[in-house]
Structures are given as structure tokens and as C-alpha cells.
């Protein structure tokens, strides 16, 4: 069969039936198996029997799930649809359980095949003439320009985070050493909370690569930035990192550190 003049040999497993309301689930077989009727349909859904093995799952695996079936419920539903719309169905899954646990796969899968494939060749697609109405090329990190943009952005962000943490520490030390200052005047800027803990740990482990403050300028060693996983993954080698950021980021004279300008002295006065 075809839909609006177009042959649909296979319908990918884009269906997440556990997100469907009861009325939508009831109409699902008629639309997909009856009207669209592709040669193959793959449906996956969580196996409720596996949930007790997932420590973070209380009832369902996602708050938007309207239901989660055990193996018997899913297979009965699938077999009924296959018989109603002239399909065969085979069951498989992903995520095998631990040894000794007879709960089935973490995700259960039904592979439906239209029966006519066993008897005759599928219909041949009619030739259609298409006209390009719009074309776009998505950025790829294989392109040196896009890779450089990604690396430069990441390097600047990491350098700014490190500089901010260092400045906050210096200001805090200054406040502590000057008891005349009132405590409420110092408010650390936790602009990057999701990075903070990781940076503190990384900084402690890299004593020989500490950033340095000189007046209102912070020097963040490039080798320290390279040690962060995302930069390391993007560049592969330190030499490639240096090449990509040279001329794009403010560097020290010897190219070993990223320069971040800060208004440290004014912050001390505030």
C-alpha cells in the first residue's frame, strides 16, 4: 500500500507508545497498521518487570509515561494487532537482566512484518519529480572553521570560570584579612555553579598549573585548559589546541596562557 502516492517500505521505531493517552493508544493501530501499513514496523517500550532493578525508578521511568507494560501485556497487545492487520510479529529487546533475574529485557521490542512480503514482491515506487525548495548545510566539526569556533568558545568559557573562581578566592582572603570590612559586603559570584565543584577538584590535582593574577590580569595556563575532557576530545593534542586558539584568543607572549582581564582592584574597593 501507499500513502498519498508514496510507498512506505519501512516505518522506523519512532513510536513511544508509553507516552500515549488511552484514546490515542486505541487509535494507534488503525492509523499506523491500517492506514499507513508499511512493510515493517518496530515498536519499543519499557518492560515494567525490569523496573525493580533500577534504583532510581519508583513507579514509571519517566513522569510523562501513561503506562508501562510487563512482557505478557505487551505481547498480547502486539499479537492481537498483528492478527487484526495481517502482520507477523517477533519479540526481542535491549538490556539483558543480571544473571538469575528472570524479568526479561530492560526495553522490549516488537518487530512487525507485513505478510504479503512472504508471498510476492512489494509494489514498485512510481517515479516522482521533486523540486528543491530549500537547502541548508549543518555545521560539522570535520570542517576546520566550525571546529575552531567550538574550541575557542570552550577555551574562553573555561578560562573565565577559572579566573572568576580565583578572583572570588582572592577577594574572600582580602575580606578575612581585613576585619574592618563587614561580612555582608562580600558576595561571591557563583556564575557557573555546575562547573564549580569540578574545577575545584581539578585545580587541587594540578598544583603545577595554577592560574596567576598580575594586577587586573589573570593568566590561565593553556595546558590546564587542555586537561578538561571536552577540550581534550575536540583537539586531540595540545599542539592542535595551540594552533586553533592562536590569533583567536588573547594569549601571553609565549603562548602558554590565556589572558583574562578583570577589575580585581575595583572589586576590592566595593
pLDDT, tens digit, for every residue of 107-164? 999 999 988 755 555 555 556 667 788 776 666 677 888 889 989 999 999 998 888 8
Contacts of 176 (CB under 8 A, 6+ apart): none
Q: Quick one: cell of 75?
A: 505481547
Res. 235: pLDDT tops 70 = yes
Does the structure show a pLDDT above 80 at 206? no
CA 150 to chain centre: 16
Mean pLDDT of 34-54: 92
pTM: 0.43
Average of per-residue pLDDT across 62-90: 95
The predicted model gives 192-196 an average pLDDT of 43
Q: Per-residue pLDDT for 177 more than 50?
A: yes
Mean pLDDT lowest for which of 165-169, 226-230, 246-250? 165-169
**Average model confidence (pLDDT) for the chain?**
79
Contacts 24+ apart (CB under 8 A), 46-52: 46/18, 46/106, 46/107, 46/108, 47/71, 47/74, 47/93, 47/103, 47/104, 47/105, 47/106, 47/107, 47/108, 48/73, 49/103, 49/104, 50/95, 50/97, 50/103, 50/104, 50/105, 50/106, 52/103
* Higher-pLDDT residue of 17, 183: 17
- pLDDT tens for residues 2-28? 343 344 555 544 567 999 999 999 999
pLDDT attached to residue 195? 45
pLDDT (0 to 100) of residue 142: 76
| 110 φ/ψ angles, rounded to the nearest 5 degrees | -115, 125
Per the model's pLDDT, the better-predicted residue between 229 and 266 turns out to be: 229
pLDDT, average across residues 97-115? 93
C-alpha to C-alpha distance for 228 and 224, rounded to whole angstroms: 7
How many angstroms separate the CA atoms of 21 and 24, rounded? Answer: 5
Q: What is the pLDDT of residue 119?
A: 52
On the question of pLDDT at 182 being above 50, the answer is no
Q: From residue 129, give the alpha-carbon distance in Å to each of 10, 124, 126.
A: 21, 16, 10
Q: What percent of the chain has pLDDT over 70?
A: 72
Q: Which pLDDT band holds residue 209 (cuts at 50, 70, 90)?
A: low
Amino acid at each position: 500500500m501507499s500513502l498519498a502516492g508514496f510507498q512506505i517500505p519501512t516505518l522506523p521505531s519512532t513510536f513511544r507508545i508509553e507516552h500515549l493517552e488511552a484514546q490515542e493508544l486505541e487509535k494507534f493501530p488503525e492509523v499506523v497498521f491500517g492506514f499507513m501499513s508499511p512493510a515493517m514496523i518496530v515498536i519499543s517500550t519499557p518492560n515494567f518487570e525490569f523496573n525493580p532493578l533500577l534504583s532510581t525508578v519508583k513507579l514509571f521511568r519517566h513522569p510523562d509515561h501513561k503506562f508501562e507494560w510487563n512482557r505478557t501485556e505487551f505481547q498480547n497487545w502486539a499479537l492481537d494487532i498483528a492478527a487484526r492487520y495481517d502482520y507477523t510479529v517477533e519479540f526481542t529487546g535491549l538490556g539483558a537482566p543480571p544473571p538469575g533475574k528472570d524479568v526479561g529485557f530492560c526495553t522490549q521490542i516488537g518487530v512487525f512484518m507485513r505478510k504479503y512480503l512472504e508471498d510476492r514482491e512489494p509494489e514498485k515506487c512510481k517515479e516522482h519529480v521533486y523540486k528543491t525548495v530549500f537547502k541548508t548545510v549543518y555545521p560539522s566539526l570535520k570542517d576546520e572553521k566550525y571546529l575552531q569556533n567550538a574550541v575557542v568558545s570552550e577555551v574562553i568559557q573555561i578560562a573565565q570560570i577559572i579566573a572568576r573562581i580565583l578572583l572570588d578566592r582572592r577577594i574572600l582572603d582580602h575580606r578575612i584579612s581585613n576585619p574592618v570590612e563587614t561580612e555582608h559586603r562580600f558576595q561571591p559570584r557563583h556564575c557557573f555553579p555546575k562547573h564549580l565543584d569540578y574545577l575545584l577538584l581539578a585545580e587541587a590535582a594540578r598544583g603545577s598549573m595554577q592560574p596567576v593574577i598580575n594586577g587586573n590580569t589573570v593568566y590561565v595556563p593553556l595546558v590546564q585548559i587542555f586537561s578538561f575532557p571536552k577540550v581534550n576530545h575536540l583537539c586531540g593534542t595540545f599542539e592542535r589546541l595551540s594552533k586553533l586558539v592562536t590569533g583567536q584568543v588573547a594569549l601571553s607572549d609565549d603562548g602558554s596562557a590565556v589572558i583574562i582581564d578583570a577589575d580585581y582592584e575595583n572589586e576590592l574597593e566595593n
